[in-house]
Amino acid sequence: MTAPTRVWPESLLVSGASGSIGAALVEEALSAGTRVVATTSSETGRARLDTLGAITGGDLTVVDVDLSRPQELDPLLADLRSRPDPPHAFVALSSGASGGPLEEKSYEELAGLLHTKVWSAGLIASALGERLALSGWGRIVLVTGITGREPIDGYAVGAAANAAMRTLTKSLSRRWAEAGVTVNAVCPGPVESDRLRALAPVLDQAGEKEVSLGRTHPLGRLVTAAEVVAVVRFLLGPSSSGVNGAEVVVDGGFGRAV
Ligand SMILES: NC(=O)c1ccc[n+]([C@@H]2O[C@H](COP(=O)([O-])OP(=O)(O)OC[C@H]3O[C@@H](n4cnc5c(N)ncnc54)[C@H](OP(=O)(O)O)[C@@H]3O)[C@@H](O)[C@H]2O)c1
C-alpha cells in the first residue's frame, strides 16, 4: 500500500468508542469520510454510536464486545487476522471503572480493568499490526492518562493501568516500524468528560478535588475531548511518519514531570 496523503486514514478501528473522547473521535472521522469500526459493551454505547452514524451519514460498523472478558475478544482478533481489508489504523480508548481504593476492588474487577484497557489494546494492536506491516503502512494509537506518569490519590488502579499502557506502547512501537507501522501513545490530563464527572466524588474524597475542576490548571479550564482528538488525528495521519514510540501529553500543562 502506498502511504496515504489524506489526514484521516481510509479506515479506522476504535475500541471504547462510545465514551466522550471516543464519540468525538468517531464523529470527526466519519465526517471526514473514514470507514469506522467501533466497539462498545453497552446498549447506551451502541445507541450513542448509532446516533453518530445517523448524524454524519458515515460508514460505521458497531461491534458489541465486553473487553473485560478475554474470550469475547477472540472473534474480533480472528476477524482482524483474516479479513481481506483490515482497518488501516487503530485507536485504543476502552477503560473500565478505575477510581477508588485498590483494596476495595475484587480480583475480577482488577483483572477486568486490565483486560478492558491494557490487554485488549495490546492484543488488537498485535493482530492488526501484523497485517498492516504486510501492507506497508499503518497507525496505532494507545490512549494512556496523566496518572500513568504522575499518580494522584484515590486513583492507584487507573494509574497502574495507564503506566502499563505506556510501556506497552514502547514495546509495540519497535515491532513494525520498519514496515511503516507506527505505535504511539496519547496521554490526556483531566478532560471535560462524562468519565471525569463520574470520578469527581472519588477524587474529592481522596483530597484531589481540584483535579476535576480545572480552575487551578494552567489553562484555567479542563482540556476538551476535541483537543485530545486533534492530537490523535495528527498521529493517525501522514505527517506523523517520524513519530514512533512517543507519548504525547495533552494536559494543558497540568502535569509537572519533565
Ligand atoms: N476523561 C478523562 O479525563 C481522561 C483522562 C485521562 C485519560 N483518559 C483515558 O482516555 C480513554 C477514553 O476516555 P473517556 O473519557 O472517553 O472514557 P469513558 O467515557 O469512560 O469511555 C471508556 C470507553 O470504554 C468502554 N468500556 C467500558 N467498559 C468496557 C468493557 N468491559 N468492554 C469494552 N468496552 C468497555 C466504554 O463503552 P461502553 O460502556 O459502551 O462499553 C467507553 O466507550 C480512557 O482510556 C481513559 O482512561 C481519560
Is pLDDT of 53 > 80? yes
Report d(CA 92, CA 65) in Å as an integer.
Answer: 14
212 lines ligand 1 (CB under 6 A): no
Per DSSP, the three-state class of 155 is: coil
Q: Which residue has the cell 446498549?
A: 43
CA of 134 to the centre of ligand 1 (A): 30
pLDDT at 89: 98
- Report which DSSP code applies to 177: G
**93-107 per-position pLDDT tens digit:** 999 988 989 999 999
Q: Which atom of ligand 1 is nearest to the CA of 18?
A: 43
CA of 42 to the centre of ligand 1 (A): 12
99 lines ligand 1 (CB under 6 A): no
Closest CA to 196 of 231, 223, 233: 223
The answer to whether residue 4 sits within a structural domain is: no
252 lines ligand 1 (CB under 6 A): no
Radius of gyration of the chain (CA): 17
**79-89 per-position pLDDT tens digit:** 999 999 999 99
The answer to whether residue 215 sits within a structural domain is: yes
CATH of the domain at 41: 3.40.50.720
Mean pLDDT for the stretch of residues 184-209? 94
CA end-to-end span of the chain: 38
Domains in the chain, number: 1
Report d(CA 52, CA 229) in Å as an integer.
Answer: 16
CA of 194 to the centre of ligand 1 (A): 9
Mean pLDDT for the stretch of residues 57-69? 98
The answer to whether residue 185 sits within a structural domain is: yes
Closest CA to 207 of 148, 253, 152, 149: 152
The answer to whether residue 254 sits within a structural domain is: no
Question: 146: domain range?
Answer: 11-246
Predicted TM-score (pTM) of the model is 0.98
CA of 19 to the centre of ligand 1 (A): 5
For residue 185, the cross-strand partners are 142, 247
Report d(CA 215, CA 95) in Å as an integer.
Answer: 26
The answer to whether residue 1 sits within a structural domain is: no
CA of 95 to the centre of ligand 1 (A): 4
Report d(CA 64, CA 38) in Å as an integer.
Answer: 9
Residue nearest to atom 47 of ligand 1 (CA): 95
The answer to whether residue 256 sits within a structural domain is: no
224 lines ligand 1 (CB under 6 A): no
The answer to whether residue 155 sits within a structural domain is: yes
The answer to whether residue 255 sits within a structural domain is: no
185 lines ligand 1 (CB under 6 A): no
**122-176 per-position pLDDT tens digit:** 999 999 999 999 999 999 999 999 999 999 999 999 999 999 999 999 999 999 9
